[in-house]
């Protein structure tokens, strides 16, 4: 992606954000506000992918509280999807862990957004410490990920457009997880199907 394209994306993103803010101020068009916010955030994701591919996406790791992070995200998405039952499971989460909170919030936020869009009635957010790693799990009760997405393993480039979107968010989440490294281990993401779709993000 060249610099001109990046600059235009940046501008459009800001315009969308401005539009979202104006809609929010009107107070009578929550649905439209969400669309504009979501669009602005997708472009933010695109800009981050561009930086990741250029090798200039850097982490700023410090301590954070995984339980608080999920609680924050849950409150945010409950407001966006009031019909869904978004529950938390953080009893087995460590009190603190080390990550780039801003990037992780984007990565998880995107996965939660996906889950909320495809869930029938419920989305469950989970954080726990397992085998020396911090694992976030986002589970919905929808139809699950399509087979071609499970096969892709999120390794290569963003996948072609499907009814799940462009896969940009999942791609970015995988890269953000991988950037987190500790003692020779790096983070990863995994997609599974159970009762619905299961998104896992692990940090060393």
Partner 1 sequence: MTVVNQFSSKRVLVIDDQAGMRTQLQMSLTHSGFEKLHVVASIKEALSLMNNGHYDIILCDYFLGEGTNGQQFLEYLRNRDLISRNTIFIMITAESSYESVVTAAECAPDDYLLKPFTAEQLNNRLGKLLERQSCFAAIDKAADAKDWERVAAQCDEVIAVRDKFFIEASKIKGEALLKSGHAPEAAALYTEMLALRPLPWAKLGLARALALNGSKDQAAALARELVAEHDHYMGAYDFLGGVLAETGDKEAALEILQSARQVSPGTLNRVRHVAELAVDTGRHDVAEQIMTEALAKHKYSPVREAQDYAILSKAINEQGKPEKALAVLKEAKQSFSDEASSVLLTTSEIAAHRKAGNNELAEAALSQALAAHHGDLPPSVVAAVADACFALGKEQQATDLLKQLVQNNPDDTAAQEKVHTVLTAAGKGEAEATAMIAASVQEIIQLNNEGVRKAEAGELNEAVSLLCDAADRLPNNLQIVGNAALALALDLARSGYTSIKMHECTRLRQLVAAKSPDYPKLAQIDAVLKKVSQE
Sites of contact with partner 1 (CB under 8 A): 10, 14, 16-18, 20-22, 24-25, 37, 40-41, 44, 47-48, 58, 60-63, 65, 67-68, 71-72, 75-76, 79, 95-96, 98, 102, 106, 182
* CA gap 163, 130 in Å, rounded: 33
Least distance from C-beta 18 to partner 1, angstroms? 6
Rounded to a whole number of angstroms, the minimum distance from the CB of residue 5 to partner 1 is 15
Select 63 or 162, whichever has its Cβ closest to partner 1: 63
Closer of 40 and 198 to partner 1 (Cβ): 40
Q: Contact, 198 vs 175, CB < 8 A? A: no
* CB nearer to partner 1: pick between 78 and 117: 78
Please count the CA atoms within 13 angstroms of the CA of 125 that sit on its side-chain side: 27
Residues in the chain: 204
Structural contact between residues 141 and 196, judged by C-beta atoms closer than 8 angstroms = yes
Least distance (Å) between residue 95 CB and partner 1: 5
- Least spacing, CB of residue 143 vs partner 1, in Å: 28
Would you say 44 or 193 has its CB closer to partner 1? Answer: 44
What Rg do the C-alpha atoms of the chain give, in angstroms? 17
State in angstroms the smallest separation of the CB of 195 from partner 1.
Answer: 28
d(CA 146, CA 165) in angstroms, rounded, equals: 12
C-alpha neighbours within 13 Å on the C-beta side of residue 44: 18
Cβ closest to partner 1, residue 11 vs residue 85: 11
Closest CA to 92 of 124, 122, 138, 136: 136
């Amino acid at each position: 992606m060249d610099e001109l394209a990046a600059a235009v994306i940046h501008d459009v993103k800001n315009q969308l954000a401005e539009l979202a803010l104006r809609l929010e101020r009107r107070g009578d068009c929550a649905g439209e506000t969400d669309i504009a916010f979501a669009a602005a955030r997708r472009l933010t994701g695109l800009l981050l992918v561009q930086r990741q591919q250029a090798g200039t996406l850097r982490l700023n790791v410090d301590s954070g509280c995984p339980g608080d992070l999920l609680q924050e995200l849950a409150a945010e998405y409950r407001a966006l999807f009031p019909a869904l039952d978004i529950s938390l499971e953080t009893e087995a989460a460590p009190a603190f862990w080390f990550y780039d909170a801003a990037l992780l919030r984007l990565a998880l936020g995107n996965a939660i957004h996906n889950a909320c869009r495809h869930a029938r009635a419920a989305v469950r957010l989970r954080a726990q410490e397992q085998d020396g790693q911090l694992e976030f799990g986002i589970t919905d009760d929808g139809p699950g990920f399509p087979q071609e997405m499970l096969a892709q393993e999120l390794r290569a480039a963003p996948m072609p457009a499907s009814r799940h979107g462009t896969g940009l968010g999942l791609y970015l989440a995988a890269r953000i997880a991988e950037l987190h490294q500790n003692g020779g281990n790096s983070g990863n993401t995994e997609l599974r199907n159970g009762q619905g779709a299961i998104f896992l993000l692990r940090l060393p």
